[in-house]
Amino acid sequence: MGEGRYLQGDNEILLDSWLAERSGIKLGDSIELLGRQFRVVGLTRETASWMSPYVFISLEAAEEMLGVSGTVSYHMLRLATGAEKITVASAIEDQFTGVDVLLPSQIAEADQRVLATIMETPIKVLLFVAIFTGIAVMGLSSYTAVADRMREYGVLKAVGANSRRLAGLVVEETYYQAGMGLALGIALSYVAANGIMLRWPQFNILIEPANVLQVSLLAMFMSLVSALLPVSRLARIDPVVAFKS
């Protein structure tokens, strides 16, 4: 609950804060829902999904408006502090025949499976394109950096640096650039996520530390692959090029 109070009558309604702000509705206003008038007595927070916000009315009002009676999709229970969820779930299922109890984690897993069947393939395609593009961009940057410093690498080879040492320098420079870009990208991700949620509260963006670690490891792998692309050119450097005017 963000503002106001909970429902106390059948003609009262709770609106999501983002929906109320977008619609210009304030506490105490009257709105019409399916031909019935309701008075807004509360504004809720974090009750807007990426598809639609939620509204809350009494069970009696919902039954009357929808023309059903004694039909409930599910009940949500708030347990006392210290109560064991699994113990309570087992007690409910033992006492009420035909009632299934789902824990919050089980509901989340079910929702994830549903979304995965719709979004998994497009996301994997986008991820593959992003990885390929990242390797190509970083590889081009590394190759350009090597081409611009051919004389310097030639000097190093002339004074005794072997191909392995030169390749190590390229990998080190590529990792330095990738690390700076990764740190900046992570910072911008948090800034963008907070900005999006502030502007469009229906989008809830959660950046998990584990995902940041996975992306970082993937970025390091992409950097290594891209750094190895110009190595073959280093092996063919003629030290004489360092002394040409």
For residue 16, give the CATH number of its domain: 2.40.40
67 & 109 share domain: no
Q: Residue 53 carries which DSSP code?
A: B
Q: Is the pLDDT of residue 147 over 70?
A: yes
Confidence of residue 53 (pLDDT cuts 50, 70, 90): confident
C-alpha 226/C-alpha 201 separation (Å) is: 39
Instruction: Tell me if 19 is assigned to some domain.
Output: yes
Mean pLDDT of 17-38: 89
Which of 31, 52, 73 is a domain's end point?
73
Check whether residue 48 and residue 116 sit in a common domain.
Answer: no
Where a domain ends, among 22, 49, 73?
73
In which band, very low, low, confident or very high, does the pLDDT at 154 lie, cut at 50, 70 and 90?
A: confident
pLDDT, the chain, mean: 83
Whether residues 232 and 115 fall in one domain: yes
Q: Which two tokens stand for residue 47?
A: 């009750």
Residue 187 has pLDDT above 60, yes or no: yes
Give the number of other Cβ atoms within 10 Å of residue 84's Cβ. Answer: 10
Please say if the pLDDT value at position 104 is more than 80. Answer: yes
Verify that 42 and 137 share a domain, yes or no: no
Q: What is the pLDDT, as a whole number, of residue 239?
A: 66
Length of the chain counted residue by residue: 245
Both 158 and 208 in one domain: the answer is yes
Q: How many domains are there within the chain?
A: 2
- 124 in the same domain as 42: no
Mean pLDDT, range 33-54, rounded to an integer = 86
Do residues 177 and 109 both lie within one domain?
yes
Least confident of 42-56, 99-113, 187-201, 219-233: 219-233
> Which whole number is the average pLDDT over 117-139?
82
Statement to judge: residues 225 and 123 lie in one domain:
yes
Do 165 and 237 fall into the same domain? yes
- Note whether residue 124 is domain-resident: yes
| Residue pair 134/178 in contact by the 8 Å Cβ criterion | no
Q: Which of 49, 73, 97 is the last residue of a domain?
A: 73
How much is the pLDDT for 14?
95
Q: pLDDT per residue over 190-244, tens digit each?
A: 999 999 888 877 777 888 888 888 888 888 887 888 777 777 777 777 666 656 6
Six-digit token string for 56: 């809350």
Predicted local confidence at residue 204, as pLDDT:
75
11 shares its domain with 119: no
Q: Is the pLDDT of residue 87 over 80?
A: yes
Do the domain assignments include residue 186? yes
161 CB neighbour count, 10 Å cutoff: 18
Residue 100 lies in a domain: no
Domain-embedded: residue 191: yes
Rounded (10°) angle between helices 150-158 and 104-148: 70
Compute CA 9 distance to the chain's CA centroid, rounded to the nearest angstrom.
38
Angle at 201 between CA 198 and CA 204, to 5 degrees: 100
Distance CA 57, CA 227 (A): 60
Tokens of 58: 């009494």
Query: Is 90 exceeded by the pLDDT of residue 40?
Result: yes
Asked if the structure places residue 94 within a domain, the reply is no
CA distances from 61 to 64, 69, 102, 149 (A): 5, 10, 26, 76
Distance set, CA 232 to CA 71, 149, 170, 217 (Å): 71, 15, 12, 25
> Quick one: 128 and 177 in the same domain?
yes
The verdict on residue 176 lying in a domain is yes
Q: Judge contact between 34 and 62, C-beta under 8 A.
A: no
User: Whole-angstrom Cα distance, residue 188 to residue 206?
Assistant: 14
Please check whether residues 57 and 111 belong to one and the same domain.
no
> Is residue 84 a part of any domain in this protein?
no
- Residue span of the structural domain in which 64 resides: 3-73
